[in-house]
Structure 1
Amino acid sequence: MDDFIINNICQTGRQNASEYRKELPKAINTILASMEDDRCFAHIGDEPIHFSTSVKEMIDKFREILFPGYFSSEKIDGANIVYNLGQGISQLYDILSEQIIHVLRHDCLRYGQTCSECKNSGNDVALKVIQEIPNLRISLAEDIKGAYDGDPAAKSHDEVIFSYPGLYAITVYRISHILSNLGVPQLPRIMTEHAHSLTGIDIHPGAKIGEKFVIDHGTGVVVGETSIIGNNVRIYQNVTIGALSLPPDAGEKLRGAKRHPTIEDDVIIYSGATILGGETTIGARSVVGGNVWLTSSIPADTKVFIESPHLIYKYQKTQEEQNHEYQV
């Protein structure tokens, strides 16, 4: 194609693009007019909402402190551990307090709340969370041991820490649960939804979960806000611990009510199981089989399985066998 044709095509393309762009001011005015529409939502003139990058930075810094040496950019040994951890904890405190102050100020201004003295409150809550880190490390150590002990595919505790999505989701949950209990708005849910986006595991920060909690594989797991889960519980992929079907106005009627099940100690829930309802309790040491649907309680030491399906096997003849029949 010679230069004349190429230049002509390019010039025509630029002219066409210019014609389309002339329509943009009209579209912009229409969109701006929609900002006055009460049926829609806008966040104009208020404190900005968190960006996921800052939340990710905070979670990464938490993991550096909770698992020293695993996620650090440099080697940690006896010569630098005091300096390294001291600096990391100081940085975490600054990031965390800033995030907490931000959400407190956001809600105060946006919803016209009584002044929460957000700076003092944020610093106070951040310090309380930092002070909980030793207990967090113990809880997570039990989660790691539970994952390793129950999974023959796990070659070491290190493998669980480095690569198991279930542990990542549980780590973020345990941090966000502390923040939720301390009354921090928005941030706990933003954190667990970040973990959800990475792992496919959706744990609400309001759920109450005991020690040695294991999520094996994990994709598609849902744990609702008012769930109560005991110690040494193991669940597999695509398990839902959720609420029963809700009416259209459930938000106002049931907000704060117990809507999700209670799972007692030493329960195993296999893949695809769905357990629903705030009055549903799975008794201790019970086993819920794959694809089971439960909306009522079962007593302790119970096994619930679906009856084996009736399978149909159809033999598909090979092309050679079909040709042989044709020749005969």
Structure 2
Amino acid sequence: MSDSPQGRAGHWHLNDIVAQLRSAREQWRSQNGRSCGAQGGRELPSRDAMATLLEQLCGALFPMRLGPVDLREESEDFYVGHTLDAALNALLVQARLELRYATRQEPCNNDAVDAQAVSLVQAFAAALPGLRRLLDSDVLAAYHGDPAARSVDEVLLCYPGILAVIHHRVAHHLYRAGLPLLARISSEIAHSSTGIDIHPGAQIGGSFFIDHGTGVVIGETAIIGERVRIYQAVTLGAKRFPADESGQLQKGWPRHPIVEDDVVIYAGATILGRITIGKGSTIGGNVWLTRSVPAGSNLTQANLQHDDGTQK
């Protein structure tokens, strides 16, 4: 048998498989009223493009720590400007794709969509200095909150919780700006790398610290105050998922916890539903909580149990 590409293709019957895959794609698109994009081009944003521009944004926000290894302070501003220009132009392309996808069922007005995309990316660029200052508070919170941290530089370079928070701060801005798909891609890139799953809709105050981090889940409508610290395997989730008359899950309604300022939540705690954890409370490890608690509460598995072993 020939070892040429043609011979190998015949061995795998690739022509038949390719034809069947094309048929499956066409059937799905027909059933769902979908096309493959304008003039047959790409219809959806690219995860790879988002990963690249997020890496560029990290470098532009923290150039001497997350930027190139040979960067010097005298060329810092040039690097930041050049990198931001590339990242923002790439973000503009992805924003156009998302906006055109979102309006694909409406009369096409690409000029209006392009103008909206430019406006959204301009607003994002203007928000970056404030975003950097907010992230500085998160880095300091991690440094002060972890006795094992030797410097803020170690925290920024090494801690998965900080990487997840950087991505979340970017993603949350995109989410609020009306680019939820780009926001979700940004969050899921960090989720894949860190094991920390923060929905971009979650509202998180400054000086936020996730220690260790693996297995943390923070839902879309969660609201977290200032100076909150949480540990690995914590879930801020929904208790139930009501459906509408047609049986479809209702989306967007508040269903995740509110965590007020200065709360600490230890490893493995599960907090479900639209409940409030009062300011300054401490939630112990592996606690399962579905009711609100007042400010200053200190909950552990032991003080959540009745004498007969059932949960209060």
- TM-score bracket relative to the smaller structure: 0.7 to 0.9
Distance 1:113-1:221 versus aligned 2 partners, 3 A rule: farther
Aligned to 2:259: 263
Aligned to 2:307: none
1:40, CA displacement in angstroms? 7.3
Aligned to 2:79: 84
Q: How does 1:156-167 map to 2 (within 5 A)?
A: 156-167=151-162
How many percent of aligned residue pairs carry the same amino acid?
Answer: 37
Say which of 84, 89, 97 aligns to 2:92: 97
What TM-score results when the alignment is normalised by the length of structure 2?
0.85
Aligned residues of 1:35 and 1:42 also touching (Cα < 8 A): no
Q: How many equivalent pairs are there?
A: 293
Aligned residues of 2:50 and 2:91 also touching (Cα < 8 A): no
- Equivalent AA in structure 2 for residue 51 of structure 1: S
Distance 1:248-1:20 versus aligned 2 partners, 3 A rule: farther
Say which of 265, 270, 273 aligns to 2:269: 273
Say which of 278, 284, 288 aligns to 1:289: 284
> Any stretches of 5+ residues in structure 1 without a counterpart?
1-9, 12-16, 309-328
SS in 1 for 2:98: helix
Aligned to 1:4: none
**Larger CA deviation: 93-102 vs 268-277:** 93-102
How many angstroms apart in 1 are the aligned matches of 2:237 and 2:24?
A: 40
Aligned residues of 1:69 and 1:75 also touching (Cα < 8 A): no
Instruction: State whether structure 2 residue 165 is matched by structure 1 residue 170.
Output: yes
Aligned to 1:243: 238
Q: How does 1:24-63 map to 2 (within 5 A)?
A: 25=16, 28-29=19-20, 32=23, 35-36=26-27, 44-46=35-37, 47-63=42-58
1:133, CA displacement in angstroms? 1.1
Aligned to 2:309: none
Distance 1:269-1:102 versus aligned 2 partners, 3 A rule: same
Aligned residues of 1:203 and 1:224 also touching (Cα < 8 A): yes
1:20, CA displacement in angstroms? 6.1
1:26, CA displacement in angstroms? 7.0
- Equivalent AA in structure 1 for residue 62 of structure 2: F
SS in 2 for 1:220: coil
How many angstroms apart in 1 are the aligned matches of 2:14 and 2:157?
A: 52
CA RMSD of the aligned region, Å?
A: 2.8
**Larger CA deviation: 124-133 vs 218-227:** 124-133
Distance 1:39-1:203 versus aligned 2 partners, 3 A rule: farther
1:281, CA displacement in angstroms? 0.5
**Larger CA deviation: 27-36 vs 134-143:** 27-36
1:27, CA displacement in angstroms? 8.1
How many angstroms apart in 1 are the aligned matches of 2:291 and 2:191?
A: 28
1:161, CA displacement in angstroms? 0.5
Instruction: State whether structure 2 residue 126 is matched by structure 1 residue 131.
Output: yes
Aligned to 1:315: none
Distance 1:231-1:39 versus aligned 2 partners, 3 A rule: farther
What TM-score results when the alignment is normalised by the length of structure 1?
0.81
CA offsets 1:276-328 (integer angstroms, 9 cap, x no match): 102x10001111111111111011101111129xxxxxxxxxxxxxxxxxxxx
Aligned to 1:203: 198
- Equivalent AA in structure 2 for residue 262 of structure 1: I
How many angstroms apart in 1 are the aligned matches of 2:249 and 2:23?
A: 35
1:96, CA displacement in angstroms? 1.6
Distance 1:30-1:84 versus aligned 2 partners, 3 A rule: closer
Aligned residues of 2:215 and 2:232 also touching (Cα < 8 A): yes
1:271, CA displacement in angstroms? 0.7
Distance 1:78-1:220 versus aligned 2 partners, 3 A rule: closer
How many angstroms apart in 1 are the aligned matches of 2:80 and 2:29?
A: 50
